[in-house]
């Protein structure tokens, strides 16, 4: 399964990347903003972990919906501000509050059938 990480805090993004790889998934890239996320989405990731507040502002909700609508990507929002996630949409697996733990990510993935 291919995973896109949409996170502007580099240490958080790298930690998430390591965790995703430890769980047996490949990472197509890390995007700190909307433009980068949409470029990397051309790789058609199966899953995206999306933070809400990014380098270009509160663009995470828009990115999450676009990934689901345009590319059929499943989305798990990872945020310190879950109220900013907006309304649920098709393709949203859930909202996980930061700081997250590996077991929480693993539980979400397992609950959704590892998506493959």
* pLDDT tens profile 10-68: 999 999 999 999 888 999 999 999 999 999 999 999 999 999 999 999 999 999 999 99
Integer Cα distance of 16 and 46 in angstroms: 16
Note the maximum CA span of the chain: 33
The residue among 83 and 65 whose pLDDT is bigger is 65
Is residue 8 a contact partner of residue 55, using CB atoms and an 8 Å limit? Answer: yes
Q: What is the CA radius of gyration of the chain?
A: 12
Q: Provide the 10 A C-beta neighbour count for residue 54.
A: 21
> pTM to 2 decimals?
0.92
Q: What is the pLDDT of residue 114?
A: 54
């Amino acid at each position: 399964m291919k995973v896109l990480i949409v996170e502007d805090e580099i240490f958080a993004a790298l930690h998430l990347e390591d965790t995703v790889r430890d769980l047996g998934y490949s990472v197509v890239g890390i995007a700190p903003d909307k433009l980068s996320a949409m470029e990397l989405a051309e790789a058609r990731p199966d899953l995206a972990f999306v933070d809400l507040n990014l380098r270009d502002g509160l663009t995470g909700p828009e990115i999450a919906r676009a990934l689901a609508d345009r590319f059929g990507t499943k989305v798990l929002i990872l945020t310190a501000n879950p109220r900013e996630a907006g309304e649920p949409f098709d393709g949203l697996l859930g909202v996980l509050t930061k700081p997250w733990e590996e077991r929480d990510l693993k539980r979400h993935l397992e609950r959704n059938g590892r998506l493959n």
